[in-house]
Structure 1
Amino acid sequence: MKIAIVSGKDEGPTRLNAFDNALTAAGIGDVNLIKVSSMLGKNTQVKDLPKLKPGAMVNCVLSSVTSSKPGDTITAVVAVAIGEKLGCVVETTGTNKDPQDLIGEANFMVNYMMEKREVEIKDIIIESASTTVENIASVVASVVYLNDEIIEG
């Protein structure tokens, strides 16, 4: 199994536009995202996000938060734990919470999931996006499940 881990942040004139702009900043704005739960296959490989086919149906774990309150600090986090038997992904978000606290929360949750399954962790990767809202802003962090059908070229 191959995945890419991405994040993005942006502003927009509406909540939907801010979210769309954040997805585009993350490189996943031109595809259809299908939210899936948090399991990975054994020895999952993390790759750079390739160019995706416009309109492709793309499985992902998505963490996102949008705010229209100027001055809010918004954060989206995903944490990935990879093991030899399987892997797990967690997501969390926060408004006006310390981004480092949210990263710590995600790290705790993904470690717990792997421990509960009695799987030794080979690697943990955490990706986050955080911004202070000027007008209307959105942040996203995502684990994108890659396969040949969705990759352009």
Structure 2
Amino acid sequence: MLPIPTKFTLVVGHGEGDKKLTAFDAALLDAGIGNMNLLRVSSVLPPKCAFENVFKLPAGSLLPIAYGSLTSDVPGEIISAAIGVGIPEDPSSFGMIMEFSGFCTKDEAALKVEEMVREAFAMRSLALKEVKVKSIEHKVERCGSVIAACPLFYETTGGGY
């Protein structure tokens, strides 16, 4: 069993490539997570998980992450992604992470993800203290991609987990 993450942050990125996968890779690099091994997780923020503005892990690190992404090869198309985290009133309780991607503006994506966070808290009868949201949009040139993500990580001690 892996240890429970103690830290989280929100990142967004966008990029262009010749192919869909390389466009997605460019978005990952722009978000600062392109050199990590991503372990996609569902949408639960661990109890007592603290927000950090920035994080740094060695290349190749295993990184639990919730994310929404979208890639398009239609020039001129607007694509967006948003990530939202609900922080519970009770710090010993868990929170919720919601992600969204679509053909809309970043403001529309941010609104949708915030609505989903609020609904998830209501469904669980959890008291909500705060919602953190980050979003991004991109106008496709040839093949573009966007990502909005919530990396979950651990206290670092000397260059790793």
Cα deviation, 1:107-137, whole Å, max 9, x if unaligned, reads 1111011111111111111111111001111
Q: Is the 8 A contact 2:109 2:135 kept in 1?
A: no
Shift of 1:150: 9.6
Residues 2-151 of structure 1 aligned to structure 2 (within 5 Å): 2-83=7-88, 84=90, 85-95=93-103, 97-148=104-155
Q: Is the 8 A contact 1:57 1:150 kept in 2?
A: no
TM-score, normalised via structure 2 length: 0.88
Unaligned 5+ residue runs, structure 1?
Answer: none
> What percentage of aligned pairs have identical amino acids?
31
**Shift of residue 101 of structure 1?**
2.3
- TM-score in terms of structure 1 length: 0.92
Residues paired across the two proteins, number: 152
1:99 positional shift: 2.9
| Distance in 2 separating the partners of 1:47 and 1:99 | 22
Instruction: For 2:146 and 2:157, locate their aligned partners in 1 and report how far apart those are by CA, in whole Å.
Output: 23
Structural RMSD (CA): 1.7
TM-aligned CA deviation for residue 149 of structure 1: 6.4
Structure 2: stretches of 5+ with no match in the other structure = 1-5
Find the aligned partners of 1:99 and 1:34 in 2 and give their Cα distance: 25
Structure 1: distance between partners of 2:33 and 2:157: 11
When residues 107 and 151 of structure 1 are mapped into structure 2, their CA distance, relative to the original with a 3 A threshold, is farther
Which of the two has greater strand per residue? Answer: 1
